[in-house]
A and B are shown apart, each in its own frame.
Chain A
Amino acid sequence: MSIRVGESAEAATFPKAAKKLLANTQLRRNVRRATDTIRNKRAKVVGEMPDWEQLRTAAQQIKQRTLRNLDSYLEQFEKACTAAGGKVHWARDADEANKIVVDIIRGHGQKEVIKVKTMTSDETRLNKALEAAGIAPYETDLADLIIQLGNDKPSHIVVPALHRNKSEIRQIFMDTMGLTELGHKPEDLAAAARDYLRERFLRVKVGFSGANFAIAETGSVCVVESEGNGRMCITLPDVLITMFGIEKIIPTFDDLEVFLQLLPRSATGERMNPYNSIWTGVTPGDGPKEFHVVLLDNGRTRVLADEESRETLHCIRCAACLNACPVYRQTGGHAYGSIYSGPIGAILTPQLQGMEHSTSLPYASSLCGACYEVCPVKINIPEILIHLRRKIVESGGAPMTERMGMAVAGFTLEDSGRLGAAQKLVQLGRQPLDALGLPGWSVARDLPAIPTESFREWWKNRGAR
């Protein structure tokens, strides 16, 4: 099996990557400014919904029901989509998925494909596979285009180029679009991207998209976006390929109502997305003549098998947890070594990729709970982080010093006499504290003066005083 999440298996550990990013003050300023803006917008539009909590619960329950019967919903989707003229492919892992896509494009003798935001294609490293097969992929989501042209990596689930500011984007466009002149206003940049993309929208015969939701009942696929470039990708080409993870299924069309209220408010702070595209199979004389769906597993059934963390698959990729996360706020998304960053990345990447590759991610959190508070599908991310830490410890993946420290601490805390003795040791000097790994602490923080008397000693002596 070639289950992978982009390059995460080779990525640096979180603390190492974070350390490097923390030195980049421009990037941190960009991240802070952007996340603050989205957070405030989200808070405002969520605040005006009196039934927000009920919507969250409804979404959570729909997702729970879906996951309990995922096998039958997937088959129902396949049946309905096929009946509507689509063709459904099942991909167990990244390589299978890439091969399916390459074969379809080759089968039509095409050498180019226009793409719109598909996180799963980053998971499978589809662009690399396409290029190796002599097929040129063009990203058309504005942010993804900036990433592609800048030879960069996405740092946010919804706003992949969030770490870039306007002048950096202008420079990337100047350098890669062969422009000698370009204005500084956002409109100027948008116009440049429009010129660059429109030519491709009209020329390229194959389109590729992801999906936000796939409806089992009708076999329909739904994509929501802000720019309209996705609409171009899914309507203009002759052949359309749509790839998504198997957890994107929802049972009925009615269920969509819940998610279309939650997603835009959580993701961009909008009441509704400017573009909501829903299509079912092929419609003769209108849109693509051929429609393929690639259902991607790539580790998802493995996540499904763990009851304690299964709810990770509820995620609708709104990125509210990223925008709320105080850790993400400092480092941005690249520290997570995966297309999935922030709190959801910290629990999703290790589970998909296999824990052994990303053992530092479940610790990339202070467990402050801000993510859980904003998650529109109520994923208890802190609880899952702890669950994953437990798995790492149980599989012997924790560092030796930590295991010893915890064993000693555990032994000490199981008996008040031992605790009293340990307190005496602490009072004698700072050695025992330092031995537990406090060097990291002392870089920027002083330790408090160690008291000469513990509380229990004070209590004991109290009567005597």
Chain B
Amino acid sequence: MHLLDTLGVDVETRRSSPVLISLFITCYNDTLFPGTGRAVVRVLERLGHTVEFRESQTCCGQMHYNTGYHPEAVRIMRKFLQDFRGAEVICVPSASCVAMIRDHYPKMAAEAGMEREVADILPLVFEFTELLTDKLGVTDVGATYPHSVTLHTSCHALRSLHAGDRPQRLLQEVRGLDYLQLPASDQCCGFGGTFAIKNAEVSTAMLSEKMRSILETGAEVCTGADNSCLMHIGGGLSRQRATARCVHIAEILASEEGHE
């Protein structure tokens, strides 16, 4: 019997029929946050879906594109398109990588003569929380996480993906989770990729404001759909020896009683 069934949740309302989901882990998560990837796999499999991981995959090209290195970005895009050819659904646990694909691939494709391939793949690409709420039709994924949590909606999730209240809806279904609203939640945390290094002082000034908002909520955990922002915020919190820490939303949704 499935875990959710033991909790008495109506199967029909929460689950689409099994889907073969191709995971695009992203280079960043692959290298620095493999726990997020493991959590995504756990959630999706728990919901009865099959996850595949195409080992040839690497990156979406975001860092190169945003920093002005377009030929490299186009080569990486070409590789992404090849790697995921024929995929049914592509799950990406990073809002900024999805934004890169949705907002910039069409233009890059026009320059590289790959409009067809890009147009074909775009409808298949889902950010992890989008995949759950929109494609798989679930908000209750059967998680238990007895902590107070606030949500940092990254700029890409907010303005490019128009995440709306999707992540919040998912969190509010988690057993034991105390959801605390983040003040000034539309403010950028100051990460911005190479910005965090090129303009380190301004970036950390922005971070200070964000940390103040997080600490104001009193939450133990700050979550979000982008490990890039979370690494930046978490790094600042850790430096300040604050008690709050950052955890990717997939890891919260993967948590079960006695197993975080």
Contact = CB atoms under 8 A, between A and B. Distances in A.
A322 to B, nearest CB: 15
B231 interface: yes
Nearest to B52: A459
Given A437-B197, A459-B55, A414 B75 contact: yes
B55 A416 contact: yes
Given A365-B195, A386-B68, A410 B38 contact: no
B30 A423 contact: yes
Interface in B78-121: 79
B236 A414 contact: no
B201 A15 contact: yes
A191 interface: no
Nearest to B57: A416
A346 B202 CA distance: 15
B168 interface: no
Contact of A455 (B34, B159, B191, B238): B34
Contact of A15 (B160, B188, B202, B239): B202
Given A22-B202, A22-B205, A445-B232, A365 B192 contact: yes
Given A366-B190, A369-B159, A458-B38, A451 B197 contact: no
A302 B192 CA distance: 29
Interface string B231-242: 110111011000
Contact of B64 (A388, A406, A448): A406
B34 A441 contact: no
A458 B194 CA distance: 28
B203 A450 contact: no
A69 B159 CA distance: 33
Contacts of A364: 199, 202
A438 B64 CA distance: 17
Nearest to A327: B202
B204 interface: yes
A125 B75 CA distance: 45
A366 B210 CA distance: 14
Nearest to B227: A448
A14 interface: yes
Given A15-B198, A363-B195, A444-B204, A368 B235 contact: no
Interface string A377-411: 00000000010111111100010001000110110
A148 B192 CA distance: 36
B137 interface: no
B197 A459 contact: no
A441 B200 contact: yes
Contacts of A179: none
Interface residues of B, number: 62
Contacts of B156: 369
Residue of A326, A364, A437, A455 most packed against chain B (CB within 10 A): A455
Nearest to A406: B69
Interface string A435-453: 0011011011111101101
A407 B155 CA distance: 27
Interface in B26-83: 27, 29-35, 37-38, 53, 55-59, 61, 63-70, 72, 75-76, 79
Given A366-B191, A444-B239, A446-B239, A389 B159 contact: no
A275 to B, nearest CB: 33
Contacts of B190: 326, 366
Given A386-B68, A446-B239, A326 B53 contact: no
Interface string A197-210: 00000000000000
Given A22-B202, A370-B186, A416-B57, A454 B31 contact: yes
Nearest to B96: A367
Contacts of B37: 455, 458-459
Contacts of B193: 366-367
Contacts of B55: 416, 456, 459-460
Interface in B132-180: 155-156, 159-160
A440 B202 CA distance: 11
Contacts of A386: 65-66, 68
A443 B67 contact: no
Nearest to B56: A416
Nearest to A436: B197
Contact of B199 (A363, A453, A457): A363
B186 A410 contact: no
Nearest to A453: B34
A456 B34 CA distance: 8
Contacts of B64: 406, 409-410
B4 interface: no
Contact of A413 (B29, B58, B204): B58
A419 B80 CA distance: 14
Interface in B3-32: 25, 27, 29-32
Given A366-B190, A406-B67, A445-B232, A440 B159 contact: no
30 contacts: A15-B198, A15-B202, A326-B187, A364-B199, A365-B192, A366-B155, A366-B192, A366-B196, A367-B66, A367-B195, A368-B159, A369-B155, A369-B156, A370-B186, A386-B68, A389-B67, A406-B63, A409-B63, A410-B75, A413-B58, A414-B75, A416-B56, A419-B27, A440-B196, A443-B200, A445-B239, A451-B33, A455-B38, A456-B30, A459-B37
List the 6 closest A-B pairs by CB distance, nearest first: A366-B192, A389-B68, A445-B235, A440-B200, A410-B72, A368-B188
Given A327-B206, A455-B34, 11 more contacts: A326-B188, A366-B203, A368-B159, A413-B59, A416-B55, A441-B196, A443-B201, A445-B238, A451-B32, A457-B34, A459-B37
